[in-house]
Amino acid sequence: MRWVKSSYSSNDGPQCVEVATTPGTIHIRDSKDTTIPHLTISPTAWADFVRTRRAGRPA
């Protein structure tokens, strides 16, 4: 999988989120410790999350 760091994450800060996409799933992980399990959600759930955040509502 190709992991992409969130634009809201910094290289030296505490918030380091990475996302990888596959045809049927979205994978989310904490890049500070890639040995721990990552979260896997559906593309629909991811789209709902992104839409909610862009609208300024809490997740």
- Domain range annotation of the chain: 4-54
**Cα within 13 Å of Cα(20), Cβ side:** 12
Contact 38, 25 (CB under 8 A): no
pTM of the model: 0.76
Tell me the CA distances in angstroms from 16 to 24, 37, 41, one per residue in order: 24, 15, 18
Indicate if the pLDDT at residue 10 is higher than 90: no
Give me the chain's average pLDDT, please: 85
For tokens 């629909």, the residue is: 44
Contact 27, 1 (CB under 8 A): yes
Q: State percent of the chain over pLDDT 70.
A: 81
For tokens 């979205």, the residue is: 26
Query: What gap in Å lies between CA 43 and CA 50, rounded to an integer?
Result: 10
Indicate if the pLDDT at residue 15 is higher than 80: no
